[in-house]
Amino acid sequence: MNNPPPDLVGSRIKVQRAKEQFQDLITKAQDFMNLNPYGVVIEDNPQTGERVWHARVSRPIPPEWSPLIGDIVHNLRAALDYVAWQFEAASGTRGDPRSIQFPIWDRGAPAPTTARAVKDHKAKRKRQEDTFGLPAMALIERLQPDSRRDRDWILNPLWMLHQLDIWDKHKLFVVVGGTVVNARTTIGGPGQDVHIESMSVGSPGSVVPIADGTELMRLKLGADTPNVDVKQTFTAFVAFEKTGPGQGKGVLETLDKLISFVDQALTLFAALP
């Protein structure tokens, strides 16, 4: 069964608004970083022979960023829900308007086991097929997170968008500073023999969150190694907290990914037969 393609005008307006808000956030982030809020202090311990890099944080991330991020997320989620509403209106299935939303399936949830749960699951899927039609349902299936083919399925854009939107309904996002420990570490120079006993950095190559005094890197040179020059660079970024749905990922990187995902999804829906 093919249902008419949805009218995407409302969805496009929502995405455009999200893009405008995203540009506002980028400007705020650039202005904030221009104030050099994050620095690094190097401390040597002659007793242990260790060199430790600590973060120095001079100012917190402005709290008003959190509702702005929430608005971006909500507009993107609403853009997909508008698609569902259009299919619902065109199909004539007359579902409860309060429950109309873009389908997002929790691949991490256990499969229904009881006869009643299986029956309810099949009935829900049948209602979705009647509402969207088979071509749209095939597309929706492609967009879903899938734990069977992707080990990091919780980072799927659709799932992250869904979880971030739920989070924002109940509490402000906690936005923190993070830093990437650049992969290239220069130790010593030509003709210098360097013996490294131990070295530790954030994993995987980043530290989230960073507060004043957070250890970024620790290096211990062998006792037979003369004093050498150790060069290391750190790149600060703004991150979601690790315990929330943002998984400690960069805020700007994540939002850019979500905007691109919804944009592409709308393009695919517009191309349905």
Domain boundaries, the chain: 9-270
pLDDT at 78 over 60: yes
Residue 185: the pLDDT is 54
Of 174, 242, 230, nearest to 204 by C-alpha is 242
For residues 155 and 149, give the distance between their C-alpha atoms in angstroms, rounded to a whole number.
Answer: 13
Residue 3: the pLDDT is 64
What is the average pLDDT score of the chain?
82
Single-letter amino acid code for the residue at 16? Q
Q: What percent of the chain has pLDDT over 90?
A: 41
Decide the pairing of beta strands 186-187 and 206-207: unpaired
pLDDT at 183 over 50: no
Single-letter amino acid code for the residue at 50? E
Q: Is 153 buried (19+), middle (13-18) or exposed (0-12) by CB count in 10 A? A: middle
**pTM of the entire structure?**
0.84
- Structure confidence at residue 87 as a pLDDT band (50, 70, 90): confident
